[in-house]
Amino acid sequence: AQKVTQAQTEISVVEKEDVTLDCVYETRDTTYYLFWYKQPPSGELVFLIRRNSFDEQNEISGRYSWNFQKSTSSFNFTITASQVVDSAVYFCALSSNAGGTSYGKLTFGQGTILTVHP
Amino acid sequence: NAGVTQTPKFQVLKTGQSMTLQCAQDMNHNSMYWYRQDPGMGLRLIYYSASEGTTDKGEVPNGYNVSRLNKREFSLRLESAAPSQTSVYFCASLQESTQHFGDGTRLSIL
């Protein structure tokens, strides 16, 4: 069985602070994908990043960065110099290949509510 | 939002009523999904369709049925709505290992 845990239910920061959202996953598959999605107050789900299990390179996109460590089964997300517009619910998710039969099904974490105060 | 359209956006039902949530994608994707989102539980998979004409149960299929009549459309039906089905429902389609979501349907069962 697969599992994604986002231990931080809510985080509150002041604008310009850096913030890290934690994600820990469990899977028995050797081939899998990890994702982060953003859900702003308007409610839609916005895709942020996909990382496959064979690529442990960290990634940076503007103020966003992701740290993938297979040794600790973690895929953490850092926002540098946070802004009010970053306020949202952030979801970490896992999709495994499962011998080619998983058809991309996602297992989501519970989500972390991030509030950035001006 | 990435070519996945859900209708309606909001709906209120009475217990026991039936309803079909519609989802359509114009990106020629093979796989489509239905999730429900409840507070503190993330999104959970209800049903999915790997390709046109096939459907399979996800994590929480009880109380729901689905239809994939063609490649574009994947509908979710509640035959006899229950208050426990009050939730936000998301449809998604798969593009190169990444799911792209519709804007969601907020459903309340009274």
Phi-psi region of A84 (alpha: psi -120 to 50; beta: other; left: phi over 0): alpha
**Strand bridging mode A59-61 / A10-14:** unpaired
Dump pLDDT digits (tens) for B56-94: 999 999 999 999 989 999 999 999 999 999 999 999 998
Q: Which residues in chain B have Cβ-Cβ distances shorter than 8 Å to A52?
A: 97
CA of A17 vs chain B CAs: smallest distance (Å): 25
Instruction: Count Cα neighbours of B16 within 13 Å in the Cβ-side half-sphere.
Output: 0
Could you tell me the two tokens for B74?
């994947």
CA of B34 vs chain A CAs: smallest distance (Å): 10
B58 vs A105: CB contact, 8 Å cut-off? Answer: yes
Dump pLDDT digits (tens) for A84-113: 999 999 999 999 865 555 667 899 999 999
B97 vs A95: CB contact, 8 Å cut-off? Answer: yes
Q: Which residues in chain A have Cβ-Cβ distances shorter than 8 Å to B50?
A: 103
Non-local CB neighbours of B96 within 8 Å, separated by 6+ positions: none
- Report the run of H or E that residue B56 belongs to, with start and end: strand B56-57
pLDDT above 60 for A56:
yes
- Among A residues 52-81, those touching chain B with beta carbons less than 8 Å apart: 52
